[in-house]
DNA sequence: AGACTCATGTAATGCGTTACATGATTTG
DNA sequence: CAAATCATGTAACGCATTACATGAGTCT
């Protein structure tokens, strides 16, 4: 089965934070995992119902306001571990950022430089966001925090993009003004 | 309008390579732009028809085997340039790779290290692929080649991921064996 | 003639977003 | 009691993949 990602993400959050409702999980999604995966409540609620039907999570009797608390089952935990250990992630990459990079040579140098500058600004802004998150993260408890490594990965990738924008801008300037 | 990416990618290929059929464009997609964006013929053919209806490209009378040759129009070229210069790419990131990174702290150190090793291998393989492409690219003509910058970007991002796998493995080993 | 590649399409299905819809509880 | 927040769901739509379907030309 493909399209396992949302399930695994939810199992991970339940495993880390303990029993929670769909509403809680929706908030946790946007607050913690957002730079890596996104999902709205309209996708999460039906998925939780399917996961319960499949025995990956169990549901308590609805509480006040129809609140339904989900708990990860042993089957769910095993499924998640198995995916982490044995699923080779699809390398499918779909990035508007990279698409613009691909087409950049079709622009005249001045326009290309302008586009690069916008990209650099946007990347810097996202990088600032992640670095801010990391500060908050570290001022909490130390050690085996969920999301900790993904934050580092995000930061390193954004730094790579930023370095590329500078290098490419230099390259374009150099080829636009051939001799010194 | 959103979901412009496929259109722009096709316009870019037509702009760079000149008039081509849907079949040609499908091949070019997998051969050149694949590390940045993916599309199958079943998506490309209907899109080309819509683009022709919108005046972004023009169609010649079908040739042998029903082959339809598309040519970018001035309107199409302007649309593409405009998107490149003024569209800020959505930062939406959805990477199974990063999702695994996010959940890594939920594994015991030995399993986490094993998962990291698989990730490193997969990343290295993709990196080898891109670096091979770059060699081919450079042995062609020099200068303003389409895809040139995107290739560099891909390589830099993959190197960042690779560096992260090593750094993270060290970190996990260090915290699994606290004192020297 | 048979196999292969060229060439174009449609249908079914899945994942994801936006919008619609409803009601219970808490807070001011 | 009014507004905000909590809480769950469904419907409509768009993008992308897989599978189905068909036929024309080329090469052995």
pLDDT at position A126 is 94
Is residue A132 classed as helix, strand or coil in its secondary structure? helix
Is residue B21 classed as helix, strand or coil in its secondary structure? strand
- Whether A143 has a pLDDT exceeding 50, the answer reads no
Q: What mean pLDDT do residues A108-115 have?
A: 96
pLDDT at position A144 is 55
Write the DSSP string, B126-139.
HHHHHHHHHHHHHH
Q: Is the CB of A5 under 7 A from strand C?
A: yes
Cβ contact A115–B84 (<8 Å): yes
Q: What φ, ψ does residue B169 adopt, rounded to 5°? A: -60, -45
Distance CA B67, CA B78 (A): 26
Distance from CA of B120 to the nearest CA of A (A): 11
Distance CA A50, CA A70 (A): 12
Distance CA A9, CA A72 (A): 12
Distance CA B133, CA B143 (A): 16
A window 110-139: Cβ near strand D (< 7 A): none
Q: Which residues of A touch B96 (CB under 8 A)?
A: 5, 87, 89-90
Q: Which residues of B touch A76 (CB under 8 A)?
A: none
Distances from the Cα of B125 to the Cαs of A30, A64, B59, B130, B158, in angstroms? 32, 52, 40, 9, 10
pLDDT at position B2 is 79
Per-residue model confidence as pLDDT tens digits over B18-46:
999 999 999 999 999 999 999 999 999 99
Cβ contact A164–B152 (<8 Å): yes
How distant is the alpha carbon of residue A169 from its chain centre?
28
Mean pLDDT taken over chain A:
94
The torsion angle over the Cα atoms of residues A23, A29, A32 and A35, rounded to 10 degrees, is: -160
- Whether B98 has a pLDDT exceeding 50, the answer reads yes
> Is B127 in CB contact (< 8 Å) with chain A?
no
User: Considering chain A, what percentage of its residues have pLDDT values greater than 90?
Assistant: 86
CATH for B5-86, among 3.20.20.70, 1.10.10.10, 2.40.50.100, 3.60.15.10? 1.10.10.10
Q: Is the CB of A21 under 7 A from strand D?
A: yes
- Whether B141 has a pLDDT exceeding 70, the answer reads no
- Angle, CA B2 vertex, CA A115 and CA B48 arms, to 5°: 95
> Is A118 in CB contact (< 8 Å) with chain B?
yes
Per-residue model confidence as pLDDT tens digits over B30-88:
999 999 999 999 999 999 999 999 999 999 999 999 999 999 999 999 999 999 999 98
Q: Is the CB of B48 under 7 A from strand C?
A: yes
Q: Which residue is nearest to nucleotide D20 (CA to C1')?
A: B42
Cβ contact A149–B92 (<8 Å): no
Per-residue model confidence as pLDDT tens digits over A151-173:
999 999 999 999 999 999 999 99
Counted across chains A and B, CB pairs separated by less than 8 A come out at: 208
- Whether A32 has a pLDDT exceeding 70, the answer reads yes
Q: What φ, ψ does residue A72 adopt, rounded to 5°? A: -70, 140
Per-residue model confidence as pLDDT tens digits over A72-97:
999 999 999 999 999 988 888 899 99
Q: Is the CB of B24 under 7 A from strand C?
A: yes
Closest CA to A88 of B122, B101, B160: B122
Q: Which residues of B touch A149 (CB under 8 A)?
A: 101-102, 104-105, 164, 168, 171
Distance CA B114, CA B102 (A): 15
Q: Which residues of A touch B92 (CB under 8 A)?
A: 38
How many residues comprise chain B?
180
Q: Which residue has the higher pLDDT, B139 or A34?
A: A34
User: Considering chain B, what percentage of its residues have pLDDT values greater than 70?
Assistant: 97
Confidence of residue B143 (pLDDT cuts 50, 70, 90): very low
CA→C1' distance for B2 and D14 (Å): 10
Write the DSSP string, A84-101.
HHHPPPP-----HHHHHH
Q: Which of A101-115, A126-140, A160-174, B154-168 has the lowest mean pLDDT?
A: A126-140
| Chain B residue whose CA is closest to A99 | B36
pLDDT at position A91 is 81
Sign of CA dihedral B152, B154, B157, B163: negative
| Among the partner residues B37, B97, B107, nearest to A94 by beta-carbon distance | B37
How distant is the alpha carbon of residue A68 from its chain centre?
26
CA→C1' distance for B25 and D23 (Å): 21
For helices B148-176 and A148-176, angle between their N-to-C axes, nearest 10 degrees: 150
């Amino acid at each position: 089965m493909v399209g396992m990602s949302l399930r695994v993400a939810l199992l991970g959050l339940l495993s880390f934070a303990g029993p929670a409702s769909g509403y809680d999980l929706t908030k946790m999604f946007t607050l913690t995992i957002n730079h890596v995966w996104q999902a709205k409540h309209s996708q999460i609620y039906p998925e939780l119902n399917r996961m319960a039907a499949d025995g990956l999570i169990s549901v308590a009797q609805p509480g006040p306001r129809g609140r339904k608390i989900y708990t990860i089952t042993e089957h769910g935990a095993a499924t998640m571990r198995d995916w982490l250990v044995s699923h080779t992630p699809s390398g499918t990459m779909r990035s508007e950022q990279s698409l613009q990079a691909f087409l950049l040579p079709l622009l005249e140098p001045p326009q290309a430089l302008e586009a690069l500058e916008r990209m650099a600004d946007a990347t810097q802004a996202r990088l600032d966001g992640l670095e801010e998150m990391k500060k908050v993260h570290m001022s909490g408890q130390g050690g085996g925090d969920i999301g900790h490594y993904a934050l580092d990965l995000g930061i390193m990738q954004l730094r790579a993009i930023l370095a590329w924008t500078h290098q490419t801008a230099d390259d374009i300037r150099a080829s636009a003004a051939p001799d010194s």
